[in-house]
Amino acid sequence: MARSTICQRSGIAAFQNSTDLDGERLRRMCLAAVAGWRLDGLGVRVRFSRGADFSGTCCYQTRRIYVNLGRHLAYPYRMGTHLARARSNARRWWKPIYTLELTDGYQVVLFVFLHECFHLLVKRARRNTRQKESMCDRFAARVLVDHYGAVVRDEHDRPVLRHEWDFQNLERFVAAARRPVRPRGSVRRASPGAAPGSAASQLLLFDV
């Protein structure tokens, strides 16, 4: 699908794709990955980059995420990340570069989308938004590892044990951005005096 615009009232409000990836498949992957998080009104635009392998932008005020994908990428693609723990000696500190092997453009877009989503969740949870790149990478990497079988590797191409990169409680950090869960079987009551068939008397299928 060369170009798509897909809207729904819950979660992602608008999804635009101008790459040669299937927009519906991308939308479903993104929606599934952020289920349960309060991202109502979010707009997403996926497009080809002007030369970079990939990039992403999160605009807090407009609630928009832009994902840019390089046309030239060859797959599988090794994406450099900030997953590693910081290391130091007497003179300096540094972070080794751990890579994540992604099989196609869909996974690259998903990683960038999730990275930018975590920036937005940090903002909505009213946390300090500075220096969160590593946390954003871990949030994205979890999904790619758990649901798509991606492998995290160190600088010597060796698989990295999970506890070496996934060591933060990200859910607790942004817990305030979780979508409230209603008890199963509960029905929103109509406002007193609402006319039959009015919006106030209808069962709402989506959180708003």
Position 133, amino acid: E
Q: What is the mean pLDDT of each run of 10 residues along the chain (208 residues)?
A: 42 91 97 92 96 96 96 97 89 90 98 97 95 96 98 96 96 91 56 42 30
Pair of tokens at residue 128: 């300090």
Residue partners of 173: CB distance under 8 A and separation at least 6:
122, 125, 127, 135
pLDDT value for 90? 75
pLDDT value for 188? 52
- What is the Cα 34 distance to its own chain's centre? 6
pLDDT value for 114? 98
pLDDT value for 179? 79
pLDDT value for 200? 35
- How far apart are alpha carbons 179 and 38 in whole angstroms? 5
Angle at 33 between CA 119 and CA 167, to 5 degrees: 60
pLDDT value for 2? 44
- How far apart are alpha carbons 93 and 91 in whole angstroms? 7
pLDDT value for 40? 85
pLDDT value for 206? 27
pLDDT value for 92? 86
The pTM (predicted TM-score) of the whole model is 0.82
Give residue for tokens 């299937």.
22
Which is it for strands 4-7 and 12-17: parallel, antiparallel or unpaired? Answer: antiparallel
pLDDT value for 12? 83
- How far apart are alpha carbons 115 and 132 in whole angstroms? 10
Domain boundaries in the chain? 4-167
pLDDT value for 91? 84
- How far apart are alpha carbons 158 and 27 in whole angstroms? 33
pLDDT value for 4? 44
